Amino acid sequence: MDLAALLPAILLTAGVLAVIVADLLGRGTSPGTPLTLAVGALLLAGWAAMHVPTDGRLVLGALRADRFGQVMTLLCCGVGVVSLLATTRGEALRKPGGEFLALVLVAVLGMSTLSMAVDLVTLYLAFEMVSIPSYVLVGMRRADRLANEASMKYVLFGSVSSGLMLFGLTWLVGLAGGTSLEALRAALANGAAEQPVFYVACALVLAGFSFKVSAVPFHFWAPDVYAGAPAAVGGFLAVASKAAGFAGLVRVMGSLDLAAPALEGAERLGRVWPKGSAFLGLLAAVAVLTMTVGNLAALRQREIKRLLAWSSIAHAGYLLLALSVWSQGALAAMLFYLVAYLFMNLAAFLLAGVMIRELGTGDVEAFRGLGRRVPWLGIAFAIVLFSLTGLPPLFGFVAKLQVFTAIFEQGYVWLGVIGLVNGAISLYYYARILSSMYLADPEGEVKVPRLSWADGLLALVLVAPVLVLGLWWGWILEWARAVVPVTLLGMGG
Amino acid sequence: MLTPALVLLLAPLAGFVIQYFAGRRLPRQGDWLTLLTIGTSLACAVSILLTALAEPVGFSHTVWSAAWMNPGAGDPWTVSITIDGLTAVMLFVVTLVAFLVHLFSVGYMHGDPKYWLFFAWLQMFSVSMLILVLAGNLLHLFIGWELVGLCSYKLIGFWSEKKAPGNASRKAFITTRIGDVGMLVAIMAIYAAVGSFEFPRIFAAAQQGLLSDGWMLVAALGVFFAAVGKSAQLPLHVWLPDAMEGPTPVSALIHAATMVAAGVYLVARMMPIFPPEALTVVAVVGGVTALMAGLIAVAQNDIKKVLAYSTVSQLGYMFLGLGCGAWHAGLFHLTTHAFFKALMFLGSGSVIHACHHEQDMRKMGGLLRKLPLTGITFGIGVLAIAGVPFLSGFYSKDAILAAAWHRFPVLFWLGLGSALLTAFYMTRLFVGTFLGKPKDQHVHDHAHEGPPTMTVPLLVLAVLSVVAGYGAWHTDLLAPPLGERAVGVIQRFDTVGDTAHFEHSGFVAMLATAAGALGLLLGLVVFRAISTAAKDALRRPLAPLEAACASKFWFDELYRDMFLRPAYALARLFSWSDGGVVDGAVNGAGALGRRGARVSGATDRHVVDGAVRGSGGLAWLLGGIASRLQGGRVRAYLGWSVAAVALFLVLRQVF
Amino acid sequence: MSSLALSVPDLTPYLPPMIFGSLAAVVLVGAAMAALAPRIVHAAFALMACFFGVAGIYAMLGADFLALAQVIVYIGGILVLLVFGILLTGRLKGALGMEAATRAWPAILAGALLFLGLAVALEGSSFPGSTATPAAAEATTAALGRALLDPSEYLVPFELVSVLLLAALVGAAYLARRRRA
Amino acid sequence: MLSLLIFLPVLGALLCWLLPAGQARWVNLLANLATCVLAGMVAVEAAGSTSYRLEAQHAWIPAFYGISYHVGVDGFAVSLLLLTAFVSTLGVLASWNIEKSPKGYHAMYLLLLCGMLGVFCALDLFLFYLFWEVMLLPMYFLIGIWGGPRRQYASIKFFLYTLFGSVLLLAAVIMIVLKHQTWSIPELTAAAGTSGLLGGGAGGLALAAFLGMFIGFAIKIPAFPFHTWLPDAHVEAPTPISMILAGVLLKMGGYGMMRIAYPFFPEAAAGMGAVISALSVIAIVYGALVAMAQNDLKKMIAYSSVSHMGFVTLGLAAGTPEGLNGAHYMMLAHGTISAMLFMIVGVIYERAHHRDIDRFGGLAWAMPRYSVLASFAFFASLGLPGLSGFIAEITTFIGAFNGPYKLAALVSLLGVVFTAAYYLITLQKVYLGQTPPAYLDKAHYPDVSARELAVLVPLALVTLWMGVFPAMALDCYRDVLNGLASTLSAAHAAVVAR
Amino acid sequence: MSLPLNAWLLLAAALFSVGVVTVLARRNAVAVLIGIELMLNAANINLVAFDRYGADGVRGQVFSVFVLAIAAAEAAVALAIILAVFDSRDRIDVDTIDSLKG
């Protein structure tokens, strides 16, 4: 029994129960206790995650205890903590109830599991375990029409998508003759990969994950849901849920035998489209579409949460692009990007929440003159947005550099160029926010937000790394490379 | 000769600097200072001239040379001072005329609010002209060449608070700048072939055939084109008459004696690289210009305009001489012309001064009694330019015609015709201004002779106009520099071996004299002797010609319609397209810009244009599509998603 | 008798296809009605038929536990839940659950396209089990129980699903709890 | 010492932020003066040198192909360093009266300075790119916050254009680094030889990477047809920022070409020579024509920049020593002259609150000193001998004609005429002619103040000095570019031979 | 005569497609849920069929048990959400719930 490997999960589960119990018992008397408990559980789980075995052993036949899973667990716990704290600073759900906290914990548990799952049943279950609490989290403000609507769209869209994925998964089960990814690998090696059903199943599974990471054409839910949900929840979904989706996708892809034929020198640099397998080509197409659609649609947005939603779609495109190359370097780059994305996007959603809280609207035009009126807020937002654009010397730039280097390294120059150009396009809409905050002269009375030290502290925690890690990122790179072993790719192991 | 050369150059430079920055605060606004400096230069020039007279024929000394910069991989580019006979003569002419013009200006410009500034720019002009003359290499020469252009611009537009001088100065600068393009072409071609700008090396290369025939022709024509611009030859002559908007001393100095002659000087200087074809071009342009400008001059009523066209015509003469291979004849004419034309300009200045800036000769007449000194000296000038024997113009013009007779008989007749015309319109000018009855009594009554500062220069120049011809005996000084080698280059091209050949051609001299005399006589008859009715009768058959002449052969109109308007139209077109098309098409930030513009409350039509055209507009539109698909209905979302998957699956398998 | 026996063909081999055919018909017709019936209540009842059909399919496939579970969970749970939802949300409408008319053909087209994609793939490929004959039917309940609790098999999902159900319970209860008066 | 030079402005920016608003400009001025002194000291050390001096190298991110903090300057870089320090210092004087958030302004200004200095000192591609991009951010805000009415549009346009350029540059850089496994500019230059990186040659990857870099730098220069951001940026930017933009920022494009794009891909560059020459000629003539049609004084000058920067690419395309030296001389000369021109526009804008050429007139009598300086700058820009623009133009022309694209050199001569035309027309319309009585009101139209003189006169003196004694500026960088020229000519020969 | 595996699979595919049609064709949110349930049922048929044909063990059935559980959870949550929507809007016609768009 590898209970040690399950310790984070156990702690999270305990946290869920503790929060519910504390909420039931202490309602009215100690409203802060559940939050403390939830944060504590997440921190404990994170701490435990640092000590789980990472030798790649199989835990209870369903989970792989390796550094990749460890890191994803850690990230998701971190995002959970920050999202909870950000919720308390955001525009809604300032005092989250026990249900909210419990659902966040369950979702984090699902994410952690998803990133370790090597069994299709577990994978599907974990997938739903992320989804179902998320549906509720989005609609947590019951009386809010928009939150309701967002929640409904999310649940319907999510269920259909997961239904598509499930159907694909069942075919994979059929091909594998079992539910473990190992069995699938073995079956594919024996020729199952040639079957048309395999490809269809892959496409269906990809549809499910596309929903999870909000990739085209399963991105439709994201703008509406992010706009309707509290900003902090939006951040949680955009970061943690997406990260978990990618982790799950990596697990699945690791068993699909996608190794691309190695080419040499100039021949390699001339490649246009991933040729390892049809799946990678499909993934690349989805990636390009995703980043392009996300960026182009974002050009039109005026509401900050919608804008961030479309931008997060575009970022999913970059991450998918890294995946579509499917090399160790690309995977490390993807992880690197995820870390950067985590800080940037959480910070963006946090700040958006704070501003909506104070201004009562998320319309970018309403931010006029804010940058100069509240300098730290302006600077923090500027750093975050420039980082999202991918401008040096910020974390976002280095992350993009990693991704595109990995893509170029495998020879997909054109893919890289498309991605880079997309990055440049994104400047326009990010800069619009800044333009409104700094460049536009305020019309009439400017509402000066009242911000507390807690807002500042939280922002500092998220924004400082964006700046600092943009300059000293060598260690993250080494760490990301170490976390992604070749075995994860389904190669050489 | 280094010291006098440097002093010669630096004295007016110092004068300019002091005068420009402090002139206004000096006593008498510093005119004495500039006289002093230019006087010093004159003294130096005289000393150089005297030294030069003692040198052997065809001498050439590079008295100073310094590396200036070295942008290439080879030898550095230098600035250098070279003195030869031509330089010595030019220095003398330039400094002398400059000095006299300075002196004249003391009286002429008296009371002008920018009196000091005028002298400052006169000084700067002198410096620039001296740089040009002293230059030992083409680049250095070009610097002087451009600087005289600047000074010309500044001085023509000296009264630029009025519109006409402003326009005239601009026209002068831009027109000569067009000519400068030729100079640049020559510089580039020569440097590309020779790798140096030094005259000796250029000429040596030309002789050794380093300069291929094609490039040599290009370089020579380039040089000549520059000269055409500067010396107001066809087709770039249009600026010079307009330049008469400048103060008259300026016209005398720059637009009669020195700067416009710089073109002639340049061609003479670069003669060794002129192949026969180029010389032919020079001669033809010169001859045609001489005749055409003479024709136009006949129909002008503004004294200065008459003189201006006369200058153009005389410069044409010089080029004719050069083009015929009569190197020294052209230069000789340059010298004599400098004197008598400066004399006439200053004389006209004196008249204008006397008549309170009235320049229209139809309002003058009978001024001889009021301005005897001016009238007489002016008369001497007229006689000199008309080529009356034993005056300077006779000798120099004769030499040119002789050369033309030998080389291009057709052009000889052109020259002869223009000689006749010259005498004719000069007589007209003189008669109209000084003789007859005053046509405007008011002007007449107030006319008075200027102060001595104005009359002395007239006298000096009159004397020179008479005697300069005897300098013909010293034309050895004007023998081609660089000794026999360069002479050889010239001789290569032509029949003309013996330069003395021209001077003793009695037949040509006779014809020339006759033409001059005829012109004078005709002028006297037409403008003095016969009645108005007879004049009209005489005029009638010539009416079309007169109309053409009076409107200067419509050059200005032609250029306006052919070049200026299209250029402006093009500029406007480009400017418009730059806002919309290029902007939009290149990467379409215009489209994005529309958004930004809306934010700032302003929309730009072109930007909107760009938005539609550019790829940025495309991005914007596609963004709209993506955004519109997001219509809010979850069923539609699901429809798109599922349909995409289904379609993909089918397409993937069926095809 | 023998002649009689001879004259009556042995239908036994044809029994499974026939049963399958009828069940499939029930399933698909039920589903189609669920998809297209104008009244939502009719759709719900059609769904019940369909679920029964599926249960029958399970039974045919020897999945006794699942067949039972299908009836209990789907019909006894989910379907009731759905009807409950229909009734609750339909209370204001005069016609119970009558939907606004909508064009169904794009949906049908998409569904047909999807089916085409799936069917073509199925026809063109074989699973490991395609060539196998179905194993003899056994009771599966015990095996299922063992598999669910086997530490090397499905213990992790089994535990997880309990957490998930708890979460769903909490979430659904929270959302549905305080209803507008 | 170079690190001190680069990061001193950052320190200054911090100080600006911390100290009271009234002192920000003093901090800025002091920091700039210190930069000047340091740049001077660096110049003493490195002027004329073909090797990198004052090098400093520290490992930074060894894991990623050995990124290091590597700075150093040779004569070429130091010439631009001096220009930067000089123009920037005068820019501070020009921004003395900024009233809108002075703290932010001066802090941004210093950050911008840091970026500019960094670009010229960086010897590591990553560092170079970092500084290259870092510069954009303060520039965006400086135009966007302190600019004119359409500043939002102009700033985003500037930002977007340059970012698109940088993206292409980055793509090329990544390809290079992947292939050659180093970020070090000297090492890469050495590896390139006369053939080029990425396998060399005039086609294939080398060409793709060269084009990426070329477009990236061409947008900054800006070369036709990538220039359309410039007029807008200039028109909207505040005066000192226009000075910096024209004086230094545009030069980065040229610097990038001469330091990176051309040495890295000499053969690809030679292969593209005809195209680049053609574009340069278009830029020169087209820029001048468009300038001629402008009614906004600042826009006219902006287009004149486009025209003049065409000389840079023209000289580069020729690849001859004269061409390269002339091109760089043009950068230096244009740096000072255009800074002066923009200051001149700023002076009159401050008084008249408009820039319409047609609405001015007769300023020469209202503001004589100002007008003298203006005409000085105009003539310097149109290439009057004795002033720096002339040296640059003539050298470039000669260099271009010496190179393989003689026709381009000949056609570009047209620009000389058009340039004279638009400057003289403007001069006449704005400064000459009748003086409207309004301008004689000394209260509203005072002649240039001491502060404005302190900006204009040094620029004028440098222009004059560079025009009369060009050797000193030229010798500072000559040998470096001569080296490049020999590489390029070898590359050209190789391409022709093929 | 035994049925081939593909028969079951085709039935499942058909059911799945009908489920999708239901989702796409119905405007009532609850009806959309019905469609989703159909899709899950189709998946389950696959799983059980695979189990029956060739595979040893009951892994497919185990999977379908989990699917059953998840379907229940999903349906519960979805219905709760639909009820909440109904609370705030008095309607559950998905086509009219389109405030969030763009």
Query: Cα-flanking dihedrals φ and ψ of residue A56, to 5°?
Result: 85, 15
Q: How far is C-alpha A315 from the chain's CA centre?
A: 9
More confident position, B54 or D323: D323
Categorize the per-residue pLDDT at B611 as very low, low, confident or very high, splitting at 50, 70 and 90.
very low
Interface mutation vs chain B, best among E26, E91, E98, E99, most B CBs within 10 Å: E98
Give the range among A216-230, B576-590, C133-147 with minimum mean pLDDT: B576-590
Q: Cβ atoms within 10 A of the Cβ of B363, count?
A: 18
Q: Give the DSSP per-residue string, A227-294.
A: HHS-HHHHHHIIIIIHHHHHHHHHHHHHTS--PPPP--HHHHHT--S--S-HHHHHHHHHHHHHHHHH
CB-CB contact of B183 with B226 (8 Å)? yes
Q: What is the pLDDT of residue C179?
A: 57
pTM of the model: 0.90
Which one of E20, E66, E89 has the shortest CB-CB distance to A121?
A: E66
| Contact flag D435-B161 (C-beta cutoff 8 Å) | yes
Give the residue from A102, A89, A94, A92 showing the smallest Cα distance to A34: A102
Peptide bond into D222 cis (omega under 30): yes
Give the residue from B134, B479, B472, B468 showing the smallest Cα distance to B327: B479
Query: Cα-flanking dihedrals φ and ψ of residue D53, to 5°?
Result: -110, 165
* CB contact E52 to C (< 8 Å): yes
More confident position, A442 or A366: A366
Strands (E), A286-441: none
Distance from CA of E94 to the nearest CA of C (A): 11
State the residue for tokens 């330049």: B243
Q: Please give the Cα distance from A395 to B218 (Å, whole number).
A: 60
Give the range among B363-367, B517-521, E40-44 with minimum mean pLDDT: B363-367
Distance from CA of B603 to the nearest CA of D (A): 9
CA D20 vs CA B295, D102, D236, D240: distances in Å = 77, 10, 28, 22
Categorize the per-residue pLDDT at B479 as very low, low, confident or very high, splitting at 50, 70 and 90.
low
* CB contact A429 to E (< 8 Å): no
Q: Which two tokens stand for residue C11?
A: 């239908």
| Contact flag C117-A103 (C-beta cutoff 8 Å) | no
pLDDT(B548) > 90: no
Categorize the per-residue pLDDT at B114 as very low, low, confident or very high, splitting at 50, 70 and 90.
confident
Query: Cα-flanking dihedrals φ and ψ of residue D68, to 5°?
Result: -135, 160
pLDDT single digits (tens) E75-92: 999 999 998 888 888 888
Distance from CA of A127 to the nearest CA of C (A): 11
pLDDT(C132) > 80: no
Q: Please give the Cα distance from D77 to D255 (Å, whole number).
A: 8
CB-CB contact of C34 with C86 (8 Å)? no
Residues of A within 8 A of E70 (CB-CB) are 124-125, 128, 132
| Contact flag B160-D433 (C-beta cutoff 8 Å) | yes
Categorize the per-residue pLDDT at D92 as very low, low, confident or very high, splitting at 50, 70 and 90.
very high
Report the largest interatomic distance among the alpha carbons of chain D, rounded to a whole angstrom.
70
Q: What is the pLDDT of residue B494?
A: 44
Mean pLDDT (chain B, rounded): 79
Categorize the per-residue pLDDT at B260 as very low, low, confident or very high, splitting at 50, 70 and 90.
confident
Distance from CA of C65 to the nearest CA of E (A): 9
pLDDT(A60) > 80: yes
Chain B, 139-168: which have a CB under 8 Å from a chain D CB? 139, 142-144, 146-147, 150, 153, 157, 160-163, 166-167
Give the range among A136-145, A368-377, A400-409, D171-180 with minimum mean pLDDT: A368-377
With contact defined as 3+ CB pairs under 8 Å, the chains touching C are: A, B, E
C151: which DSSP letter? T
Q: What is the pLDDT of residue B609?
A: 35
Chain B, 579-618: which have a CB under 8 Å from a chain A CB? 592, 595-596, 599-600
Cα nearest neighbour of B629 on chain A: A220
Give the residue from D379, D467, D310, D414 showing the smallest Cα distance to B185: D414
* CB contact C94 to B (< 8 Å): no
Which one of E27, E101, E102 has the shortest CB-CB distance to B635?
A: E27
CA B202 vs CA B189, B219, D404, D420: distances in Å = 11, 11, 22, 29
With contact defined as 3+ CB pairs under 8 Å, the chains touching B are: A, C, D, E
pLDDT(B497) > 90: no
Distance from CA of C109 to the nearest CA of B (A): 9
| Contact flag E24-B635 (C-beta cutoff 8 Å) | yes
pLDDT(D83) > 50: yes
With contact defined as 3+ CB pairs under 8 Å, the chains touching A are: B, C, D, E
Cα nearest neighbour of A204 on chain B: B645
Q: Which two tokens stand for residue A318?
A: 């970059």
The total number of residues written for chain B in this structure: 655
B450: which DSSP letter? -
Q: What is the pLDDT of residue B161?
A: 81
Q: Which two tokens stand for residue D122?
A: 């960086």
More confident position, B500 or B199: B199
- The answer to whether the Cα torsion of D424, D427, D430, D432 is positive or negative is negative
More confident position, B542 or A184: A184
- For D398-403, what is the mean pLDDT? 90
State the residue for tokens 């398998």: B653
Residues of C within 8 A of B647 (CB-CB) are 113
- Residues 6 or more apart from B193 whose CB is under 8 A from it? B205, B210, B211, B212, B215, B219
Q: Is D274 helix (H, G, I), strand (E, B) or coil?
A: helix
Task: Count residue pairs from B and D with Cβ separation < 8 A.
Answer: 176
pLDDT single digits (tens) A233-284: 999 999 999 999 999 999 999 888 776 666 665 566 667 677 767 788 889 9
- For C127-146, what is the mean pLDDT? 80
Runs of H (alpha helix) within D147-196: 151-180, 185-192
The total number of residues written for chain A in this structure: 493
ipTM here: 0.89
| Contact flag C156-A61 (C-beta cutoff 8 Å) | yes
Q: Which two tokens stand for residue B149?
A: 């252009």
Q: What is the pLDDT of residue A367?
A: 85
Q: Is D326 helix (H, G, I), strand (E, B) or coil?
A: helix
Mean pLDDT (chain D, rounded): 90
Q: Cβ atoms within 10 A of the Cβ of B554, count?
A: 12
Residues of B within 8 A of A295 (CB-CB) are 623
Task: Count residue pairs from A and C with Cβ separation < 8 A.
Answer: 106
pLDDT single digits (tens) D127-140: 999 999 988 889 99
